[in-house]
Amino acid sequence: MRNMISRVITLILIVINFTAIAQNASRYSASYISDSVVDIYDELEGRSYHLVIKSDYAPELSDYTIIYNDSSFYLISNTSSEIFRSENNELSHFGSDIQHYALQHSPYIFVDTTLFSFGGYGFWTTKNILRTWDNDEGWLPVIFPESSKVLKSSHGACLHYSQSILYIVGGSLTSDKNALTDIAVPFLQKVNLLNREVEIERLPIDINLDKLIYRTGDSLIVRSDNEIFLYQISLNTALNLEPTEKYYKALKQDALFLEGTSFYSPSRAVRYSFDDFFLISGIKDPVSLTLEIIVGFVILLFIVLIIIVIKRRDKTEIVSFKDDTIQCGKNTVLLKSNEAEIMRLFAYDRTLTSEAIARALPEHISDSHRNRMKLELINSLNQKIADISGQTEVDAITKRKDVRDSRMSVYSIREDITIEGK
């Protein structure tokens, strides 16, 4: 009983302390010492850098992410397309300070001297755009070849670079059902920066910046389901880590910061090795041979049942959109240009606002004509999908009130309809 109580208390401490670390383990912090002078404090080195702002205004420091690269500090705005870069103890301003809030929670990484950013959240949507920074043009999208896979949208992903590959690890995504709720992005996305080709794999655990505790080499130490894992990026594997007593003692002292392969406690000037804190206890979720057999048998039985059900169904074909046509089995119908454009919009987001659909229509027509044309196109698409699939009683595209603003409407397309050709 005593051991059980001890384990429960330990688990509670893990959750509390993990949250504290995830929020406080930033190496750099910034504050004003005058109207035009910023103090950037380095927790690891225990020293301050005084930088004079060469700009018409003083930025709100809490809205910026601080990165150090190539002997310069970069203050990257989380709410606009602007950057402050240090040189010769001065902070110079680049980009636009217009607040658009469209790319919040975007992770950043330097590849040599090129700054990359991916995804981001804004206006209840999550983006899938990989960007590079240009001092004159601001954020510029990376252009991918037609042969490349399309990146999955996410915000708060972990970025890593090694041997020409940019790794986008996990992150979060705005739920289609509830725009105020995030769901995990269960993918490792690998971008080859030489040929711009994309590979996508499933993650063994959920990972995002809020779950990240430390970085070490090409691995991430993350918390997931109240456990600690060593996630090996290049291998896409997760190993269970068992915290030691020294780890819990260090947590009580202060936040810990990573330097190479060692951990650093700034207030006590103490360094710890990886082995001081963690023991590798094995591969995530190991199962016995017996359990594997049972699970395998259940999966096989499920597959057989699915095959039987599919064969007995009268209508087996899947409705799909490709090359401006709707296909179902051997049946094909060609869409009008405006109808095809709306379907391509659904390829990026299966729930669209009324305004997004309206923007796909001609600009020279009146608002009333555009609204009427929008409804006619939606009705036409529903009718064509119903005719080709035989599902006459179910609309493929449905309309409902926007949960964020009841005065607005959103349109959603059925999940079983596949869409190609973004």
Q: Which residues contact 350 (CB under 8 A, 6 or more apart)?
A: 176, 412, 413, 415
Give pLDDT, residue 325.
86
Q: Is the pLDDT of residue 8 over 60?
A: no
* Residue carrying structure tokens 């529903």: 382
Predicted local distance difference test score (pLDDT) of residue 286: 38
Distances (CA, A) of 167 to 26, 183, 236, 383: 21, 20, 11, 43
- Mean pLDDT is lowest, of 275-279, 361-365, 411-415, for 361-365
Residue 211 lies in a domain: yes
Last residue of a domain, one of 267, 283, 299: 283
Confidence at residue 11, expressed as pLDDT on a 0 to 100 scale = 39
The answer to whether residues 253 and 370 belong to one domain is no
Domain boundary among 283, 310, 327: 283
Distance, first Cα to last Cα, the chain: 59
Lookup: tokens for 236: 């896409």
Do residues 422 and 348 lie in contact, with contact meaning Cβ atoms separated by under 8 Å?
yes
Question: Domain holding 382: CATH number?
Answer: 3.90.1150
Per DSSP, 44 falls in state T
Residue 162 binned pLDDT confidence (cut-offs 50, 70, 90): very high
pLDDT digits over 120-149, tens only? 998 889 999 999 999 999 999 999 999 999
With pLDDT > 70 as the criterion, what percentage of the chain qualifies? 86
Compute the distance between CA of residue 307 and CA of residue 303 in angstroms, rounded to an integer: 6
Same domain, 118 and 207: yes
Q: In what order do the strands lie in the sheet with 237-243?
A: 212-216, 219-224, 227-232, 237-243, 278-283
Q: Which residue has the higher pLDDT, 281 or 381?
A: 381
The predicted model gives 182-190 an average pLDDT of: 95
Q: 354 is in which domain, residue-wise? A: 319-419
The phi-psi region of residue 213 (left if phi > 0; otherwise alpha if psi is between -120 and 50; otherwise beta) is alpha
Long-range contacts of 304-310 (CB under 8 A, 24+ apart): none
> Do residues 354 and 254 both lie within one domain?
no
Determine the average pLDDT of the residues in 221-237.
Answer: 90
Q: What own/partner pairs with CB < 8 Å and gap ≥ 24 does 174-182 have?
A: 174/121, 174/124, 174/125, 174/126, 176/350, 176/351, 176/412, 178/403, 179/124, 179/125, 179/403, 179/404, 180/124, 180/403, 180/404
Kindly state whether residues 156 and 22 are assigned to the same domain. yes
Give me the mean pLDDT over the 9-37 stretch. Answer: 59
Output the six-digit token pair for 327. 């296909």
Give the mean pLDDT of 150-167.
96
pLDDT band at 20 (very low <50, low <70, confident <90, very high): very low
Distances (CA, A) of 131 to 64, 82, 170, 313, 322: 17, 13, 17, 46, 28
Are both 276 and 331 inside the same structural domain?
Answer: no
Condensed to tens digits (0 to 9), the pLDDT of residues 264-295 reads 877 767 788 888 888 987 655 433 334 556 77
Residues in Cβ contact with 225 at an 8 Å cutoff, skipping those fewer than 6 apart: 205, 206
CA distances from 177 to 81, 103, 351, 391 (A): 29, 21, 9, 24
- Predicted confidence at residue 82, as pLDDT, reads 94
Of the residues 264, 283, 302, which one is the last residue of a structural domain? 283
- Averaged pLDDT, 249-256: 76
Is residue 52 assigned to a domain? Answer: no
pLDDT at 310: 62
pLDDT in tens, 51-68: 999 988 889 999 999 999
| Cα–Cα separations (whole angstroms), residue 120 to 58, 78, 185, 218 | 24, 9, 13, 23
Same domain, 114 and 219: yes
Same domain? 197 vs 324: no
**pLDDT band (50, 70, 90) for residue 7:** very low
Residue 82 covered by a domain: yes
Q: What is the mean pLDDT of residues 102-129?
A: 93
355 within some domain: yes
Task: State how far the Cα of 115 lies from the Cα of 302, in Å rounded to an integer.
Answer: 48
Q: Tell me whether residue 299 is in a domain.
A: no
Q: Which of 186-195, 208-217, 391-400 has the lowest mean pLDDT?
A: 391-400
pLDDT (0 to 100) of residue 291: 56
49: in domain: no
Any idea of the CA torsion for 150, 151, 154, 156, to the nearest 10 degrees? Answer: -170
Average of per-residue pLDDT values in the chain = 83
Q: What is the pLDDT of residue 68?
A: 93
Range list of H helices, 107-262 = 245-253
Number of domains in the chain: 2
Q: What is the pLDDT confidence band of residue 31, given thresholds at 50, 70 and 90?
A: very high
CB contact at 8 A, 61 and 87: no
pLDDT of residue 21: 37
More confident call, 270 vs 202: 202
- Residue 192 and residue 324 in one domain: no
pLDDT at 217 over 80: yes
**Selected residue with higher pLDDT from 282 and 237:** 237
Q: Are residues 88 and 194 in the same domain?
A: yes
Looking at the domain assignment, is residue 338 inside a domain? yes
pLDDT for position 309: 61
Report residue 343: phi and psi, to 5°: -65, -35
Q: Are residues 186 and 335 in the same domain?
A: no
Same domain, 257 and 360: no
Task: Please check whether residues 277 and 335 belong to one and the same domain.
Answer: no
Residue 190 CB coordination number (10 Å): 20
Q: Across the strands, what pairs with 219? A: 216, 232
The domain spanning residue 183 has which CATH number?
2.120.10.80
Has residue 400 been placed in a domain? yes
